[in-house]
């Protein structure tokens, strides 16, 4: 089912979880967005009646059958600090789904999902889509410098020639039957102590040429992380799609306030993250 429309919905809050590290998961009623959202797309949410500007949040999960969507957010400024006060039964207004999502390659049968911080949600959504619609077996790496917003345990899935001390895996990813590992510089038990792109590269080095040819990277996170992931992709000649996080005003392409520089035929051109992205091929991004 495809639809390029952006819907405006008044949505009842169905659930609101509050976790360590100022992280929150909110579930919203959704008649329309839930039907058309794809991994990498986002909503533009009005956090409260007294906050004029909306805030962009990636869709983390969506249920077509039960007609809801979920987002994960971290309290940072006025908008998100107001949002954390919202209670179950309250109504929020949002626009969505917005943007271009990830595009799974049929030829690249080993998806490598790399998510950092509040860039993790689109990869959770993508993992769910792979589980439901593909026969692929992705490998999934998440990184965070605050407590992870999910439970994790030593994985039952071993990785050949990989770091034996790195065992931590999210419980819900394990339940999907997918291989996953976690990274942080905070010395969390079982996690790789370092950057997420370093962990991913350790895994890439375990692959033979035939396996490497089947890998495609899908990533979302802060700009320095995405730049590092893009460099790893270029080093090993791996196709890579990145979902860019950016502050936005209108989120529908009118204000051009979320510009990213793109390499196009030896020229540097400006693209809008909201409607031209937020997913781009990493090889096209111009990093100054």
Q: How confident is the model at residue 1 (pLDDT cuts 50, 70, 90)?
A: very low
Do 22 and 94 lie in a common domain? yes
Q: Which domain holds residue 209?
A: 110-239
Give the CATH number for residue 11.
2.40.30.10
Angle at which helix 196-204 crosses helix 223-235, to 10 degrees, equals 20
What per-residue string of b and e applies to 266-275 under the rule 16 or more CB within 10 Å gives b? Answer: eeeeebbbbb
Q: How many CB atoms lie within 10 A of CB 103?
A: 13
Q: How confident is the model at residue 288 (pLDDT cuts 50, 70, 90)?
A: confident
Residue 282 has a pLDDT of 95
Do 219 and 272 lie in a common domain? no
Q: Decide: 102 and 122 in contact? Cβ < 8 Å.
A: yes
Token pair 């990213």 in the structure block, residue = 260
For residue 188, the SS3 value is coil
Residue where one domain finishes, among candidates 239, 260, 276: 239
Residue that wins the pLDDT comparison between 266 and 59: 59
- Hey, what are 119's tokens? 């860039």
**146: exposed, middle or buried (Cβ count in 10 Å: 0-12, 13-18, 19+):** middle
**pLDDT of residue 126 exceeding 70:** yes
Residues 157-198: tens digit of each pLDDT: 999 999 999 999 999 999 999 999 999 999 999 999 999 999
Do 262 and 153 lie in a common domain? no
Q: How many CB atoms lie within 10 A of CB 254?
A: 11
Distances from the Cα of 269 to the Cα of 16, 153, 241, 285, angstroms? 40, 45, 18, 10
Q: Decide: 178 and 129 in contact? Cβ < 8 Å.
A: no
Q: In what order do the strands lie in the sheet with 42-45?
A: 55-58, 42-45, 91-98, 7-19, 23-29, 68-74, 61-63
Question: What pairs with residue 112 in β-bridges?
Answer: 139, 217
For residue 207, the SS3 value is coil
Do 90 and 124 lie in a common domain? no
Do 205 and 263 lie in a common domain? no
């Amino acid at each position: 089912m495809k639809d390029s429309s952006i819907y405006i919905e008044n949505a009842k809050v169905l659930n609101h979880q509050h976790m360590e590290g100022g992280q929150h998961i909110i579930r919203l009623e959704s008649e329309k967005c839930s039907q058309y959202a794809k991994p990498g797309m986002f909503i533009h949410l009005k956090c409260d009646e007294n906050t004029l500007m909306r805030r962009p949040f990636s869709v983390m999960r969506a249920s077509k059958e039960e007609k809801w969507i979920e987002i994960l957010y971290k309290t940072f400024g006025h908008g998100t600090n107001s949002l954390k006060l919202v209670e179950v039964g309250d109504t929020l207004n949002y626009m969505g789904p917005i943007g271009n999502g990830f595009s799974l390659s049929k030829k690249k049968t080993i998806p490598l999902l790399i998510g950092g911080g509040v860039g993790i949600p689109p990869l959770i959504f993508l993992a769910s889509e792979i589980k439901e619609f593909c026969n692929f077996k992705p490998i999934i790496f998440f990184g965070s410098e605050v407590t992870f917003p999910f439970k994790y345990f030593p994985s039952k899935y071993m990785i050949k020639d990989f770091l034996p001390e790195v065992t931590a895996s999210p419980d819900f990813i394990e339940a999907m039957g997918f291989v996953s590992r976690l990274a942080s510089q905070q010395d969390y038990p079982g996690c790789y102590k370092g950057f997420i792109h370093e962990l991913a590269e350790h895994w890439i080095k375990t692959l033979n040429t035939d396996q490497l040819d089947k890998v495609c990277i899908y990533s979302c996170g802060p700009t320095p992380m995405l730049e590092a992931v893009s460099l790893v992709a270029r080093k090993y000649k791996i196709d890579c799609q990145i979902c860019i996080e950016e502050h936005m005003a209108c989120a529908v392409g009118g204000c051009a306030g979320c510009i990213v520089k793109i390499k196009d035929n030896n020229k540097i051109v400006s693209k809008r993250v909201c409607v031209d992205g937020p997913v781009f091929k990493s090889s096209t991004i111009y990093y100054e």
